[in-house]
């Protein structure tokens, strides 16, 4: 390839088959690539994740107070509806916490607060543990369902650990 593809405009790529004896065939075939968003960016992305430490003794606190936040960005020039965000920690959240975004407009960034419901199995933790958590994002593009997941580490502190600087916990 001689030059990189442009990132924000419709591009036409044509391929010309070769005929016998190295001559070009007269028939032309084309492939059209319409790139509305940069080719390196997904249409909708999880652009930022901020999760606090998890204290097992305060597991009911997180039902009403955010554990963290996630920022979703629409990189397209189209409005998307029914975008869903899920949050799970295997073994400690029985059913993933889901948040539905009714509508995300072009180039919009949406900040979502995570308020997971932990199972009481979290109280069985007897030592501080690093865990893998997962954020999933599902949306439709031209009628095709698309899912994106990101895993990231969180720290779960055992049931006797507390945080002294926040009296509410």
Residue 22 has pLDDT above 90, yes or no: no
Could you give the CA distance from residue 29 to residue 24 in angstroms, rounded to a whole number?
A: 12
What's the predicted TM-score (pTM) here? 0.70
Domains observed in the chain:
44-157 (2.60.40.10)
Average per-residue pLDDT in the chain?
A: 80
Q: What is the pLDDT of residues 64-96, one digit of tens each?
A: 999 999 999 999 999 998 899 999 999 999 999
Q: What is the pLDDT of residues 88-123, one digit of tens each?
A: 999 999 999 999 999 999 999 999 999 999 999 999
Closest among 41, 32, 33 to 77, alpha carbons compared: 41
């Amino acid at each position: 390839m001689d030059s990189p593809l442009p990132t924000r405009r419709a591009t036409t790529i044509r391929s010309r088959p070769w005929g016998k004896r190295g001559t070009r065939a007269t028939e032309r075939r084309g492939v059209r690539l319409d790139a509305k968003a940069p080719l390196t960016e997904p249409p909708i992305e999880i652009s930022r994740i901020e999760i606090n430490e998890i204290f097992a003794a305060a597991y009911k606190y997180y039902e009403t107070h955010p554990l963290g936040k996630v920022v979703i960005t629409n990189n397209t020039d189209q409005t998307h509806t029914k975008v869903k965000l899920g949050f799970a920690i295997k073994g400690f959240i029985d059913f993933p916490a889901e948040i539905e975004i009714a509508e995300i407009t072009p180039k919009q960034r949406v900040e979502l607060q995570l308020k997971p419901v932990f199972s009481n199995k979290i109280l069985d933790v007897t030592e501080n543990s690093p865990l893998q958590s997962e954020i999933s994002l599902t949306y439709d593009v031209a009628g095709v369902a698309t899912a994106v997941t990101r895993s990231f580490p969180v720290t779960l502190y055992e049931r006797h650990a507390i945080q002294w600087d926040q009296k509410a916990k």
